[in-house]
Structure 1
């Protein structure tokens, strides 16, 4: 046998060996599915079901949102809520990564009014909080322009010295639950 023939036979044998072993290895190690880790984006979303006795502009405000070590900003989203016998929905979704330690629901300053809130749902990432009508006053602090009527489960706004800025401020312990 010549060197060329021996070399060709050797290459063919080596190729056959490699092909056979690779096929056996695939049979012995079936593909294992790699399940990707599901990461819920850190987006703050609020859904508030309410009705008001006076049409007004209701706002959800995030104050002192940190931009960098030197700058902060305030972000607000508003919607005009009409007078209605049915519940209206105020739904706000902020950008990913935007969150604040001071979240305010502004009940509008057009005129004094009664506001009934049937539910508040807040989510941030995979954390969610749902407050029903009778729990809402436990989740929010009222400023001096708002009182709560326990008998009728409504918020009553009022003017003080000609000013009217009724706001519900989300309590720090609720914010901390959302940030976990």
Structure 2
């Protein structure tokens, strides 16, 4: 009888240990899944502005390196309705796509306009930038189709020789900090 009790205790002990090991392994797998989920780093670019004429606004990046040794370009377009002149546009870049070289915002395809930026918010899981109108020069460079007045915070777009491509580019040092 004592031997039977001892055998039952040993079996019970090892079965409990086995259940603890199974539970611990499941917990470790869940932690690994959570770590993988947390590692995804999505870039979000939001701009709160007012414009004199509605147009299409385009966020883009060229030559983005992918994990499989390939490169891609991405373009995210937001079309404003003809009756809109004030808007918050939120561009969400797909997970794990990191602009390596440049990130640009095209301020329209058709209409010359004045744009008053209220706030630009750029963030990833790691870093967030809140950019006020007077700080635009610190974070962006502007091409020749844009005249920016830092005192008023107003961006004026213009045509040059019949061409129109007003683009502001996020500075490389800011791109690098977003994905450290």
TM range (shorter): 0.7 to 0.9
1:139-150 mapped onto 2 (5 Å cutoff): 139-150=139-150
TM-score (norm 2): 0.78
- Cα distance in structure 1, aligned partners of 2:88 and 2:5: 74
C-alpha change, 1:53 and 1:148, in structure 2 (3 Å) is same
1:106 to partner: Cα distance = 0.3
Task: Output the CA distance in 2 between the equivalents of 1:96 and 1:140.
Answer: 23
Moved over 4 A (4+): 16-20, 33-38, 82-86
Q: Residues of 2 paired with 1:125 and 1:16: CA distance? A: 51
The answer to whether the 8 Å contact 2:53/2:85 transfers is: no
**Conserved? CA contact 2:51–2:85, under 8 Å:** no
Residue 46, structure 1, aligned to residue 45, structure 2:
yes
Q: Structure 1 residues 120, 17: closer, same or farther in 2, change over 3 A?
A: same
Distance 1:72 1:58 in 2: 23
Are residue 15 (structure 1) and residue 26 (structure 2) matched? no
Partner of 2:177: 177
Q: Which runs of 5+ in 2 are unaligned?
A: 17-23
- Structure 1 distance, partners of 2:73, 2:171, is 18
Is the radius of gyration larger for structure 1 or structure 2? 1
More helix by share: 2
**Distance 1:53-1:86 versus aligned 2 partners, 3 A rule:** closer
Contact persistence 2:106–2:165 (CA under 8 A): yes
Counterpart-to-counterpart distance in 2, 1:122 and 1:16: 61
